[in-house]
Amino acid sequence: MVNIKINDKSYSVPKGSTILEAARYAGIEIPTLCYLKDINEIGACRICMVDVKGARSLVTACVFPVAEGMEIYTNTEKVRHSRKMTLELILSTHDRKCLSCVRSGTCELQKLCKEFGVEDEGRFDGEIIKYNFDDSAAHMVRDNNKCIVCRRCIAACDQQGISVIGANARGFDTHVSSAFDKDLADVSCISCGQCIVNCPTGAIVEKDNTAEVFAAINDPEKFVIVQTAPSIRATLGEAFGMSVGTNVEGKMVAALRRLGFDKVFDTDFAADLTIMEEANELLDRVQNGGTLPMITSCSPGWINYCEHYYPEQIPHLSTCKSPQQMFGAVMKTYYAEKMGIDPKNMFVVGIMPCTAKKFETKRDDQAASGYPDVDVALTTRELARMIETAGIFFPHLPDETFDQPFGESTGASTIFGATGGVMEAALRTAVEKLTGETLEDVDFTAVRGMDGVKEAEYDVAGKKIKVAIASGTKNAKVLMDQIKAGTSEYLFIEIMGCPGGCINGGGQPIQHAVVRNFVDLKARRAEALYTADRNNAVRKSHENEAVKTLYTEYLGKPGSHKAHDILHTSYVARKKY
């Protein structure tokens, strides 16, 4: 510990802390724009300037370490003047269409300008470069007219090991773009959306499909079904001011009914179905000499990464569709037949934590009925906007339950939303199938946690089974390089495209950098899912009665010809740009 003073009060803080972190210990929030802990620590925006006694000039709190006896002032006239002038300079080239901006209310620049009294018309206004609007990608739009060149998006892309965006040109002309200013659709972007959740302004946002969904709901010829991914219940409340990690499943269902959906179902049902198909596929590969290790296929961002960066290893991917797509396929085949509905009149909406799901709905070989399995994928943020637009007061809604039978799910499916969850769910089923015995302890805790790469080994029916888990595509590269080198010892690998899994997906609610820097979002959100798992009376996917009925009445058995036609897909090698 080191002893310091902040605003003339004495504190003892951990050695090695930055001034920003030390101030946080003291209950003082120093504003930032470019800083993201462990991701973008570059001191570029100059908003966090503070006065240190003895220093010749103001210093950047986000990267300046504390030292014994240091005296720091965070709120002097000189500091406030510096921050306000920096904001005025940033705003002088910024598109100020705040009223219509999707980030109004969650924009960090807007918040700081309000706090420091920055006027809309500033003294530094002058030349402004007009940038073209890039809406070429399936999942997002980019508006550099709202960019403040904080480089947080660049750092997030680098953290994923993708690096398809960077700072182009120099000086006043500096802007964030792809190499040679190519459109996003023409580079190897994997659609993960991590740039979106880390952007402080409205420069990068997901493509908004809410109007299309409202139109379908209001079309009397459309039977509109909505499904919600496992992680949404643990994050949607944040969009309405509720604590991080609050499980709002009941209120979410109530809100969806009030929006006018004909049926409100749970993607968790399809997650259980995915385990049935994946477990069968894995056993078939083991017994019949198939390609091993087998790698999960639930995350479309990860699938995009594999197709672009490791196309030669596509045979390692499970052929199972993701739970979102499996669900839509079941709706437009089995359920459409039972209900006597023409699948062309059925409109399936997925509420997803992931912007890559938008791309996934448009993939080839995702139309089991002859029509797209899923018509539209909305992010958690888009659903929140629909709820607000409809005037639904979310926090005061009563708790309601999903419609049946596709609202039935197990604890195993709920934990799909956290890294390691798919692996744990698969192990619960695979171990029982291999041993023929009832598994009493279903908690495979070794595969849990937020480490980028995890591994575990289990003794099952006298056979050693080694598995691995990676979240974030930069961590996936570690495992993929092992396979490429022929040194992988694993039988089964789970990979999620986003760090921490779906709970940290690119479509999740926007959180201010202060929250991202000092609150463990991933751990809190994951705990909500593990708590729901513990509280579920049924915790193994193969014990889901609705899934059993689906096989009995329609699919026959896991891996059957019919199941393969409806629930499995294919992949393509994509050019790396």
CATH number at residue 199: 3.30.70.20
Q: Spell out the residues 6+ positions from residue 414 whose beta carbon is closer than 8 angstroms to its own.
A: 230, 268, 271, 421, 529, 532, 533, 536
What's the CA gap between 546 and 235, in Å, rounded?
Answer: 26
| Together in a domain, 159 and 220 | no
CATH number at residue 51: 3.10.20.740
Sign of CA dihedral 401, 404, 406, 412: positive
What's the CA gap between 500 and 452, in Å, rounded?
Answer: 8
Q: Spell out the residues 6+ positions from residue 377 whose beta carbon is closer than 8 angstroms to its own.
A: 209, 324, 349, 350, 352, 354, 357, 358, 360, 361
What's the CA gap between 417 and 341, in Å, rounded?
Answer: 31
385 found inside a domain: yes
pLDDT at 463: 87
| Together in a domain, 247 and 395 | yes
What's the CA gap between 445 and 393, in Å, rounded?
Answer: 38
82 found inside a domain: no
| Together in a domain, 276 and 346 | yes
Domain that holds residue 25: 2-75
| Together in a domain, 37 and 59 | yes
For residues 528 and 234, the answer to whether their CB atoms sit within 8 Å is: yes
176 found inside a domain: yes
3-state secondary structure of 353: coil
Burial tier of 67 (Cβ tally within 10 Å: 0-12, 13-18, 19+): exposed
| Together in a domain, 237 and 291 | yes
Residue 59 tokens read as 């210093």
Residue 417 tokens read as 């939303």
| Together in a domain, 349 and 481 | yes
| Together in a domain, 138 and 218 | no
pLDDT at 443: 97
Q: Which of 41, 75, 109 is the last residue of a domain?
A: 75
Give the residue ranges of DSSP H helices in 289-395. Answer: 300-309, 323-330, 336-339, 356-360, 380-389
**Which residue shows structure tokens 């419609």?**
403
What's the CA gap between 336 and 48, in Å, rounded?
Answer: 57
pLDDT at 105: 94
92 found inside a domain: no
Count CB atoms within 10 A of the CB of residue 482.
16
Residue 360 tokens read as 């996934």
Q: Which of 162, 184, 206 is the last residue of a domain?
A: 206
Give the residue ranges of DSSP H helices in 118-207. Answer: 152-159, 194-198
CA-based angle 407:223:343, to the nearest 5? 95
| Together in a domain, 466 and 437 | yes
CA-based angle 28:118:155, to the nearest 5? 60
β-strands 204-206, 140-142: how paired?
antiparallel
Q: At what angle do helices 108-115 and 77-91 cross, to 10 degrees?
A: 130
| Together in a domain, 244 and 166 | no
pLDDT at 461: 83
Burial tier of 6 (Cβ tally within 10 Å: 0-12, 13-18, 19+): buried
367 found inside a domain: yes
pLDDT at 68: 97
| Together in a domain, 50 and 103 | no
pLDDT at 460: 87
| Together in a domain, 236 and 381 | yes
For residues 553 and 307, the answer to whether their CB atoms sit within 8 Å is: no
Q: Which of 191, 206, 221 is the last residue of a domain?
A: 206
φ and ψ of 371, to 5 deg: -120, 155
CATH number at residue 354: 3.40.50.1780
β-strands 140-142, 71-73: how paired?
unpaired
For residues 45 and 33, the answer to whether their CB atoms sit within 8 Å is: yes
Give the residue ranges of the chain where pLDDT is below 50: none
Determine the residue type at 498: C
88 found inside a domain: no
With CA atoms as reference, report the closest residue to 411 among 267, 253, 501, 538.
538
Tell me the whole-structure pTM to 2 decimals: 0.96
Residue 51 tokens read as 């006065």
| Together in a domain, 271 and 252 | yes
Provide the edge-to-edge strand list for the sheet that holds 346-352: 263-266, 223-228, 346-352, 376-379
80 found inside a domain: no
For residues 348 and 377, the answer to whether their CB atoms sit within 8 Å is: no
Task: For residue range 280-336, list pLDDT tens digits in order.
Answer: 999 999 999 999 999 999 999 999 999 999 999 999 999 999 999 999 999 999 999
How many domains in the chain?
3
3-state secondary structure of 122: coil
285 found inside a domain: yes
Burial tier of 399 (Cβ tally within 10 Å: 0-12, 13-18, 19+): exposed
For residues 49 and 60, the answer to whether their CB atoms sit within 8 Å is: yes
The number of angstroms, rounded, from the C-alpha of 530 to the middle of its chain's C-alpha atoms is: 18
